[in-house]
Chains A and B, each alone.
Chain A
Amino acid sequence: MSVGTGSLVTVTATINGETRTFTVPGHRTLLDALRSELGLTGTKSSCTEGECGACTVMLDGHAVNSCLVLAAEVDGHEVVTIEGLSVDGGTDLQQAFLEHGAVQCGFCIPGQVMSAEYLLSHNPDPSVEEIRDALSGNLCRCASYNRIVEAVRQTAEKRVSTRG
C-alpha cells in the first residue's frame, strides 16, 4: 500500500446530480469538503460530532451526518445536499416550513429538511410520533419543533393526496 507517499486523496463523486472531482487531505470530512472545496454552504457545520444534525445530507439515498463521513469515503458515491433538492430552493416541503413559521434563525433548517425528505422517501405518510422520532437527531435551538413537525405532516398529506 501507499501509506506515507502522500495523504491527499482525489475524489470523484456525484454531487447533486453532477460529477465532481476534488482533492482533499485524508482527514477532511464530507461536511468541510462540501462547504470549502465545493462551495455548497447550505449544509451547516455546528457540533461536528453527530449530535445536532445540522450537516445532514443524503449519501446514496440515506440520510447521514456529513461531519462523520470522510470526503474520501464518498469516492464513487452519490451525495445530495439541500442545494440539490430543487433549482430555486423552493420545494413544497421548504415552502411548508415557511408557511408554518418553522424557520426561526434558520441554521438547523437544511438538516431538518434533509432528514424530513429522507423520512418521506421511505415512509410517505408518517404519524406525528414517527416524524418526531425521525427528526430526533436534528436539534433546533429556537425550539421550533412543533412547527417543523406540522410542516412535515402537512407536506406528507399534500403529497399523498396529490398522488391520489
Chain B
Amino acid sequence: MVTYYKAHAVADALEVLGRKDVDARALLGGTDLLVGLDDRLDSAPGVVVDLKGLADETPLAVEDSGVRIGLTVTMADLVANPTVAAWYPALVQAAGVVGSVAIRNRATVVGNICNASPASDTAPALLVHGANVRIASADGERVVPISEFFVAPRVTTCGRGELVTAVELPRPVPGTGSAFQRLTRRWGVDLATVSVAAAVHGDGRIQLGLGAVAPTPLLVDLPAGTDLADRAVLDPVLDEALAVATPISDIRAAADYRTAMVRELAARALQAALDSTRRTQA
C-alpha cells in the first residue's frame, strides 16, 4: 500500500523523508513518480510525501542578483515569467518543450533535476546558466553547483534525509546569450535523443550543457574567444570538447548518430546563443 502524506513545512517533510523505517519519496508534479504507479504497487514507495503545501516555501523569486526557482515552480510557470525569459533563454526554451502542455502544467524544475534522467531537458540549460542547488536537511542547508549535483543515472548528491528546496540562478552578466537545441523523434511528448544548451557569456566564457550523451548531463567549457561564426575554427574545437560525450545506443538512436548529432546541435546552439547576445545588445 502507498500512504499519501501532505507535508506542511520543510522540517515536516525532512522528518518523513529521513525515516529509515519507510521508503518515502517526495512528490511534486508527479509526472515521473506516478508513471505506472498502479501497475507496480509491489515496488511503489511506502509513503508519498506531497510537497505542494509547504507553508515556508517560496515559489519563484526574481531579484536583482538572480532568480530562485522554488520547489513548486512548474515548467509552465517558468516559461510564463518575462524576466526569466529575458535572462535565461536556454532554460525557457528547454522548459517549453518538456512533454506536453498538460505535463508542463504539473512537472517542476526541481523535480526534473532530482529525477536525474541523463536526458533531462532542463539540466543542460541549468548547467550553462551556472545554477546552484540548495539542499536542506535536519542539520541545515548546503549549496551545490549543479555541475556537481548529478552522480549517475537517477542518482544525485541529494541523499536520504535531504531535500532540494530551490535552484538558484545568478543573473547573467550583460552581453550574455544562450540557447537550447533538442533532437527528438517526434514533435510532442518525446524524450531527447540528444540535447545541447549553449551560453556565450558576457565575460567571454563559452559553455555547453549536453544531455543524453553520457550517464549524467555534462558541462563543457570552450576556449574563450573561439570564433563561433567560423566553422573551420569551431569544428576542431568542438571535436576536442565533445570527446567527453560517451553516448549509448538505445531505442531512440545509435551511439554513432548521437555523436554526430551532438556536434551539429552544439554548433546550432552556439550560433543561436550568439544571435541572442546580439538581440540583447540591439
Contacts of B76 in A (CB 8 A): 62
Cβ of A14 under 8 Å from chain B:
no
Task: Please give the residue numbers on chain B whose beta carbons come within 8 Å of chain A beta carbons, in ascending order.
Answer: 1-6, 12, 15-16, 19, 22, 24, 27, 29-31, 34-39, 41, 44, 46-48, 50, 52, 76, 99-103, 105-106, 187-189
Q: Note all chain B residues with C-beta closer than 8 A to A25.
A: 1-2
Q: In the bound complex, do residue B34 and residue A70 qualify as a contact, i.e. CB atoms below 8 Å apart?
A: yes
Please give the number of chain A residues whose Cβ is less than 8 angstroms from any Cβ of chain B in the complex.
Answer: 37
Task: Indicate if the CB atoms of B103 and A137 lie closer than 8 Å.
Answer: yes
Can you report 18 residue pairs joining A to B where beta carbons are below 8 Å apart? A3-B3, A3-B22, A26-B3, A27-B37, A27-B38, A27-B44, A48-B38, A49-B36, A50-B35, A65-B106, A69-B34, A73-B50, A75-B6, A115-B102, A118-B101, A136-B101, A137-B101, A137-B103
Question: Any chain B CB within 8 A of the CB of A87?
Answer: no
B189–A137 contact, CB under 8 A? yes
A136 and B50 within 8 A (CB): no
Q: A136 near B100 (CB under 8 angstroms)? A: yes
Contacts of B188 in A (CB 8 A): 133, 136-137
Q: How far is the CB of A53 from chain B (nearest CB, A)?
A: 6
Residue A50 contacts which of B41, B47, B102 (CB distance < 8 angstroms)? B102
Could you tell me if B4 and A63 are in contact, using CB atoms closer than 8 angstroms? no
Q: Could you say which residues of chain A place their CB within 8 Å of the CB of B34?
A: 29, 67-70
CB within 8 Å for A70 and B189 given contacts A7-B2, A48-B38, A64-B105: no
In the complex, what distance in Å separates the CA atom of A116 from the CA atom of B62? 32
Closest CB of chain B to A61's CB: distance in Å? 10
Q: Which of A116-151 contact B (CB under 8 A)?
A: 118-119, 133-134, 136-138
| Cβ-defined partner of B102 (8 Å) among A7, A27, A53, A70 | A53
Q: Which of chain B's residues has its CB closest to A31's CB?
A: B38
